[in-house]
A and B are shown apart, each in its own frame.
Chain A
Amino acid sequence: MRRLSKTQLVIVLLVFVFVTVAIVGEYFLSRSRRLVLSTTTSTWDSGLLGYLLPIYEQRYDVKVDVLHVGTGQALQIAQGGDADLVLVHSKELELNFTSQGYGVHRIGVMYNDFIIIGPPSDLAGIRGLTNATEAFRRIKTAGDLGNVIFVSRADKSGTNLLELKIWSLLGLTPKNTTYSWYWEAKTGMGNVLRICNEKLGYALTDRATWLSFKNELPNLKVLVQNDSVLFNPYSVILVNPDRYPHRNHQDAVKFVKFLISVEGQTLIQDFKKEGETLFYPLARDVPKAVELGFENQQEELVWYDSHT
C-alpha cells in the first residue's frame, strides 16, 4: 500500500470530521427533552411563539420544536404521529380530529380577528360595514361588473376556510374558473396581501399579518371589521396518548397548562405589534369561549388545572 498523498489525507480527515459532527449533533439533539408543536403559520409568523416559547423553555428545560404549516397540514402531521400537540384555528377540522380519536382535551386558548382589506378607492363600497357577508356580496356584485378582484389564499388554511364559509353563506363556491374576479393565489397571507397591493384587490386577512405588512402596503386599507363571524379562536389539542404512546404527553400537558395559566394568558395579551394586541386571551373567559364554539371549556379548564 502506497502512502496517502496530502490531498487524500485532507479528504479522509474532512469525511471523518463531518460524519462525527453529524452523528454527535444528532445524538445531543435527540437526548434533550423535546416537545413538538404543530401549528399554523400565523402563530409563528406573528412572532407570538417566538416570544412565548423561550420563557417556557427556560423554565421547564424542554425544547419546543415548532412545525409551522397550514392548519390542514398541522393536523395531518399530528395525525401521523409526528407531533405532541397542535395549536390551530379551524373548528370543523379540529372537531373532526378529536371525534376520530386522534386528539383529546381540545381547549380554547385565545382568539384574534379577521378583517377585510382593499383599496381606498373601494369600488365595491364596503367601507365601514360590520357585516362581512354583506361585504362579500357587494364584492361579488362589483366583481361581476369587472370593477374589482378578490384574492383568495386557496391553500386550505384556516383563513381560507373561513373565507369559503362566508361565501357559502351567500350560496357561493367561487373558483377562478367560474369567476374572473376571483383569484386563487395558493400562497401565504403575506403574498396575498402583496398581490392585493399590486392589483388593488380585496382579501380576507388576519389582523396580525396585516399589521406586520401594513407599512409595505400603501395601496390598502382596513375596510370591514368587528363582525362576530370574523372572530378567530385558537385551540390546542393534545394528541391522544392511547393512540400515540410514543409521543411526549407529559410535557404537552405542561405546555398547555402554561398557555392557559393566568400568567400565560397575560403574556399573550401583552404581546403587541405596532402597539396593538394581536391575540386576545380566551382560556379563562368561559362565556366567550362557549360563544366561540368551545362548549366544554369549563370541563377542560378544570382537567388541565387539576392535572399535575
Chain B
Amino acid sequence: MTMYVFLESLFNALRLFFLVNPDVLDITLLTLRVSGTAVLLGSIAGIPTGAYLGLREWRGKKTTIRIVNLILRSIINTFMGLPPVVVGLVVFLLLRYEGPLGFLGLVFTPTAMIITQLILVIPITIGVTISAVGGVDKAIREKALSLGATNREAAFAVLKEAKIGLLTAVIVAFGAAISEVGGIMIAGGNIWLKTSTLTTEIVDAVQVGEYELALTLGVILLAIAFAINIILTILQIREAKH
C-alpha cells in the first residue's frame, strides 16, 4: 500500500468515525463494558492475591516452603502469558450446552467474554502486583512495625508505597483485555451487536476487505488505550513530582 492510499484510508476512517455510526458506538460500549468488568473483577481478585503472595515471608527455613513459592511463582508467570485462544476454547467448552456448565446458558454471551478475559487478566494483576510489592524498600515494613503496626497494617503500608505499581497492574490488565481477540471470539461467538467487540470486528472487517471500517475501529481502540494511559501518566507524574 502506498502512503497515499494509507492516508486516504485514515482520512475516510476518521470521517466515518465523526459521522458516528451508531453501531460503532454500540460496539465500543460493549468492548468497554466487557473489558472494564473483567479488569475490575480481575483487580479485585488479583491485587489482594498478589499482595499476599508478594508480602508473605517465604524465607522459611524449610526447603518445602521455598519450593512451594518457586512453583507458585512459575505458575503465575506461565499464566501471565496464557494464550487467549486456549482460554477462550476452554471457556467455550465449559459453557457450551453440552459442557459441564452448559446449564448456565452463558455460551456466546458477553458474560462468557468477561469470564475469558477475567481468566487472562487475573494472573497479570497478580504478577504485576507481586513485583510492585517486591519493589518497595524492605525498610518500609520494618518502619511500620517499629511504629507499632501489626503485620497486617505493615502490609498495608507497603501496599500504599506500591500504589503506582498497583495502578500499573490495572492498566496492563486493561491493555491486555481490550486488545484481546482470539479468546472472546471463541467464547463470545462474535455475534453482531451482541458479542462483537472492536477487536473482533476489526478481524471481520479485514476479512471482507472493509479496511476503512477496520481502521476506524482501530483508531477508536487506540484512542481508548491512549486515554487510559494519559490517566496513568498524569498519576505517575503527580507521584514523581513529590
Contact = CB atoms under 8 A, between A and B. Distances in A.
Interface of A: 14-15, 18-19, 21-22, 25-26, 29-30, 36, 41, 44-47, 50, 63, 65-68, 77, 80-82, 188, 190-191, 209, 212-213, 216, 246
Contacts of A213: 208-209
Given A21-B33, A65-B191, A190 B107 contact: no
Nearest to A193: B209
Contacts of B107: 82
B110 A22 contact: yes
Given A14-B40, A25-B33, A67-B191, A81 B98 contact: yes
30 contacts: A14-B40, A18-B36, A18-B37, A19-B37, A21-B33, A25-B33, A25-B110, A26-B109, A26-B110, A29-B110, A29-B194, A41-B207, A47-B208, A65-B189, A65-B194, A67-B108, A68-B190, A80-B96, A80-B98, A81-B98, A82-B97, A82-B107, A82-B108, A188-B207, A190-B206, A190-B207, A190-B208, A190-B209, A212-B209, A216-B209
A68 B208 CA distance: 13
A65 B44 CA distance: 32
A36 B108 contact: yes
Interface of B: 33, 36-37, 40-41, 44, 96-98, 102, 105, 107-111, 114, 189-192, 194, 204, 206-209
A146 B140 CA distance: 71
Nearest to A217: B209
Closest 9 CB pairs of A and B: A81-B97, A45-B208, A65-B191, A213-B209, A67-B189, A190-B207, A80-B98, A22-B37, A18-B37
Contacts of B33: 18, 21-22, 25
Nearest to A38: B189
A247 to B, nearest CB: 9
The winner among B40, B114, B192, B207 for most chain A CB atoms within 10 A is: B207
The winner among A19, A190, A213 for most chain B CB atoms within 10 A is: A190
A66 B200 CA distance: 14
Contact of A191 (B44, B194, B207): B207
A80 B99 CA distance: 9
Given A22-B37, A65-B194, 5 more contacts: A19-B41, A22-B33, A29-B109, A29-B194, A81-B98
A213 B207 CA distance: 10
A49 to B, nearest CB: 9
